[in-house]
A and B are shown apart, each in its own frame.
Chain A
Amino acid sequence: MNDESTPRTMEAPSAYVRAVEERAPANVAPAGSKVGTFTDRRAALAETASGLLASRWLALGLAAVTLALPYLNSSTYVIQIAIDALIFIMLAVGLNIVVGYCGLLDLGYAAFFAIGAYVSGLLSTRYGWPLLATIPVVVAAAVIGGLVIGGPTLRLRSDYLAIVTLGFGEIIRITANNLDFTGGPNGLYGIPDFGAFGLRADVALYWITAVIVIVAVLFSSRLGRGRIGRAWRFVREDEDAAEAMGIHTYKVKFAAYIAGAIFGGIAGVLFAAHQTAISPPSFNFLWSALILMAVVLGGMGSVPGVVVGALVISLLPELLRGAENWRYLVFGLLLIVVMIFRPQGLLPSRTGEPRRRGRQSQGGRP
């Protein structure tokens, strides 16, 4: 989604920075050993790869393939898996706003997912609302949930947010389990979809999901590059410095948290429509942890990375059926290993500032 045509020289750091970086290893390297070249080439390779991945054409191509999938293969199985993967991408991109952009660890993200699914499920099954009409209510409910949790905890250190959101996830799940109104442990069933529009029902749902998710991915990517996105990154890197520079950190963190909540809520609507039945165990901590895993693995703050991470996490189980517990054990170990050896994720984001300078200096290029 980045301007691919920009020459590479424009994206590289300034000559001074490069000179310092190249000289730094020379000070400690023993005489006669090669200096700098290896790491340099590797960095360049990584940058090229992430540039390619972030390119507008790849994104467009992916979106086109996504939309054309029913023409390529319209077996029920493929459509099912694809809808699952798309919903998972939506969740990962939403969590990326909170964790990746703003650096707030949300361990109860499934709570918003549950709020979305339950609100739309209740309105459509009990009151006969069309599913599309429930979306505004879902957004409102997600915002209220975000206000209740974010209000007290975003003022505190980020550690508190992590564990309070963990508790919030449990509160929502247990409440849904205990109330008769929400169907108790059996949950809700018979949730309608958006309508078939003369197509096969699952294909119609697939297209609606695909359009919503593509718009969401695009939206979150642009959100991250705008003014608020820069504020988020600043808060993530150094909250005190951000505050000193006049950023209202509380408001900015709140904005990230609420945005994440809305994404989660809408993903919940899609999930309800896709599953047609929802029950409390669908929204346990495992979900929150898997979404976090996708974000961390792909690269926090990098939308293309997160999309790839979400695809890996959601499609891997299809390949590894029957080894449930092993899989989660590996996921847990992978989180530790990634954090120790590659904390920026597999496909990290690049900082946006040099790119902006490049675009300005080129003036009228398309």
Chain B
Amino acid sequence: MHHFIQLVVSGLFVGSFYALVALGYSMVYGIIKLLNFAHGDIYMLGAFAGFTVLSVGAGALGGGLIALIAIMIAAMAATGTFGVILERVAYRPLRSAPRLSVLITAVGASFALEYGIAVAFGPNPQVYQIGVTGGTLNIAGARITYAQLAMMAIAVLLMIALDTLVRKTRSGRAMRAIAQDPKACLLMGVNVDRVIARTFFIGSALAGAAGVMAGAYYGKIDFLMGFVIGLKAFTAAVIGGIGNLRGAVLGAVVLGLLESFAVAYLGSEWRDVFAFGFLILFLTVRPTGLLGERVTERV
């Protein structure tokens, strides 16, 4: 029983990482129907942006949670800005091009980002100097560190903020409207380009936050760390129903839990095989996802 609860807790923790990345994936897909392959690499960029801040201003910031939050905000600003630049430079010129061209551009962006970081920081893993250690908490026999708890809380806060933004504010309404019909939005006076840029900013910033958390938690970052998590986030977004934000969070939690149990019973080396195999299986059974609606192709 203790073992079971421990698995649930660690599944929820991993799921909260996946959720932050999956949200950006799902937002961008919902609005401009683009699979942003570079999204996982923006997560990696966030980790490296945090690393840079950390190595420059380590003395001033001190350690602990406050420092982590400060670094996270800096990294979010950096990745958000980068997301906007990426959209402007690589995706906007191709908005009316065939979908294949845009997908290939996204692969190119992902590639350029990975190896750009490899050139800038070197190909070897970097060590995150921030030690988020602290006591552990026992919940019904399962152990969870305060750091884990704090990160999960931050992730949940960010998700709630995003949900409020999309559902309650003017700019969120513009996003939902563009997801339904960009051309009509343009005719109605919505500044479509600006809203899309804002979407990229928010999605990338969330991924950047997840990157910093991952760096702080695992203690090590490298330039290929975004590849697998990008795939996992996509899997999560598909499980929840791509384009649906609450679905993305649900899918991420489901995937985190499934993985946590799969690792316990199959061994950690099969974790990724299990996740992607599950994705393929899921696509055969319910391609629209748990919360997704049936999409009809419009000609």
Contact = CB atoms under 8 A, between A and B. Distances in A.
Interface stretch (A224-232, A262-270, A331-339): A331-339
A160 interface: yes
Nearest to A290: B111
A105 B103 contact: yes
B231 to A, nearest CB: 6
A75 B204 CA distance: 51
A178 B108 contact: no
Task: Pick the 6 closest A-B CB pairs, nearest first.
Answer: A335-B108, A332-B112, A332-B111, A167-B276, A152-B284, A328-B115
Interface string B229-251: 00100110010000000000000
Given A170-B272, A325-B115, A340 B283 contact: no
Interface string A147-180: 0110111011111101110111011001101100
Given A149-B280, A336-B90, A340-B94, A170 B231 contact: yes
A289 B111 contact: yes
A329 B121 CA distance: 13
A162 B105 contact: no
A292 interface: yes
A239 B282 CA distance: 24
A4 interface: no
Contact of A336 (B98, B112, B277): B112
B172 interface: no
Given A163-B35, A329-B116, A339-B94, A168 B280 contact: yes
Interface string B100-117: 111111011111111110
Interface string A269-313: 000000000000000010001001000100010000000000000
B42 to A, nearest CB: 14
B115 A329 contact: yes
B231 A166 contact: yes
Contact of A332 (B101, B102, B115, B231): B115
A289 B37 CA distance: 12
A170 B276 contact: yes
B237 to A, nearest CB: 10
B147 to A, nearest CB: 29
A289 B111 CA distance: 8
Contacts of A155: 287
A363 to B, nearest CB: 38
Interface string B32-64: 010101000000000000000000000000000
Interface string A88-126: 000000000001000101010000000000000000000
A93 to B, nearest CB: 18
A170 B100 CA distance: 22
A183 interface: no
A343 interface: yes
A159 B108 contact: no
B283 A292 contact: no
Nearest to A103: B100
Interface in B66-95: 89-90, 93-94
Residue among A178, A328, A339 having the largest count of chain B Cβ atoms under 10 Å: A339
Contacts of B107: 107, 289, 292, 335
A326 interface: yes
B91 to A, nearest CB: 9
Interface of B: 33, 35, 37, 89-90, 93-94, 97-105, 107-116, 118-119, 123, 227-228, 231, 234-235, 238, 269-270, 272-273, 275-277, 279-281, 283-284, 287, 297, 299
Contact of B231 (A158, A167, A300): A167
Given A340-B105, A343-B101, A164 B94 contact: no
A336 B228 contact: no
A166 B107 CA distance: 11
A240 interface: yes
A167 B277 CA distance: 8
Given A153-B280, A171-B273, A339 B119 contact: no
A141 B225 CA distance: 31
12 contacts: A105-B104, A149-B280, A152-B283, A152-B287, A155-B287, A162-B103, A170-B276, A174-B269, A240-B299, A292-B107, A332-B112, A340-B105
B292 to A, nearest CB: 12
A178 B100 CA distance: 34
Contacts of A171: 272-273, 276-277
Residue among B112, B113, B118 having the largest count of chain A Cβ atoms under 10 Å: B112
B102 to A, nearest CB: 8
Interface string A342-355: 01000000000000
A332 B100 contact: no
A334 B280 contact: no
Given A164-B279, A335-B108, A159 B99 contact: yes
B271 to A, nearest CB: 9
A328 B111 contact: yes
A292 B104 contact: yes
A159 B297 contact: no
Contact of A178 (B114, B238, B270): B270
Contact of B35 (A99, A103, A162, A289): A162
A343 B100 CA distance: 10
A336 B231 contact: no
A337 to B, nearest CB: 8
